[in-house]
Homo-oligomer: A and B are copies of this chain.
């Protein structure tokens, strides 16, 4: 059985990614990265997701990207609320964490080398996160090229593959695929500004995108929301 490192954030996308990695026949090694995100609920959600899918190999690495700063997800910067879809579609969001996916993939690559995996899954999605530079195909291709020359295994001729199976899917398509594979989205957390009990705000960009996804997929929105 081949192993694959799966980056698991606790969100809807990476949960779907884990299901797809399992469906592809990989034994997942889940990598949770505590990067100074303000909301620890994400990591709790990631562990619940892994457990619900029988993924028993879960590793957690901490890196304090707060020491670098520059994002509403790690700094004390307000997250925008109630933005219409047009506003969400333009520019790089304040929730962009500088070089986050580069850091996450670098850690995944190190773990892959240690556990003997040659495949890495990341749940990036071009449609929803068009504003994030490190969610685009050009970025993923450049990282896959880097992986070949960055590692002992790569230098010895083994190929690393970076899988981003959600890259070209709409949120609705992601949800449809995940539901077909039995993903329990009630366990996932996507909100940028959850309350102290981990309930979603229903108003940040991420909540709005997620709500629209469930609606477009004609699926029940199982998200736990905070009272308005």
Known: A65-B61, A102-B109, A114-B68. A139 touches B133 (CB 8 A): no
- Asked if residues B111 and A68 are in contact (CB atoms below 8 Å), the reply is yes
Q: Is A149 an interface residue, CB under 8 A from the partner?
A: yes
Map CB proximity to B onto A33-70 as digits: 1 under 8 Å, 0 otherwise. Answer: 00000000000000000000000000111111101111
* Interface flag for A154 (CB, 8 Å): yes
A contacts with B, residue count (CB < 8 A): 44
Cβ of A212 under 8 Å from chain B: no
Query: Nearest-CB distance from A109 to chain B (Å)?
Result: 4
How far is the CB of A63 from the nearest CB of chain B, in Å?
Answer: 4
Q: Given that A99-B106, A106-B102, A109-B99 are contacting pairs, would A149 and B155 also be in contact in the complex, using a CB cutoff of 8 Å?
A: no
Main secondary structure of the interface of A (DSSP, over half): helix
List the B side residues contacting A99 at CB < 8 Å.
106-107, 109-110, 113, 150-151
- Chain A 124-158 against B: per-residue CB contact (8 Å), 1 yes, 0 no? 00000000011010110011011011111011000
Residues of chain B within 8 A (CB-CB) of A63 are 61-64, 107
Cβ contact of A114, chosen from B98, B103, B136, cutoff 8 A: B98
Residues of B within 8 A of A101 (CB): 150
Counting CB contacts under 8 A, is A179 at the interface? no
In the complex, chain A residues 6-45 whose Cβ is within 8 Å of any chain B Cβ: none
Does A100 belong to the interface (CB within 8 Å)? yes
Q: How far is the CA of A4 from the CA of B114 in the complex (A)?
A: 32
Residues of B within 8 A of A136 (CB): 149
A92 at the interface (CB under 8 A from B): yes
Closest CB pairs A-B (n = 3): A99-B110, A70-B114, A63-B63
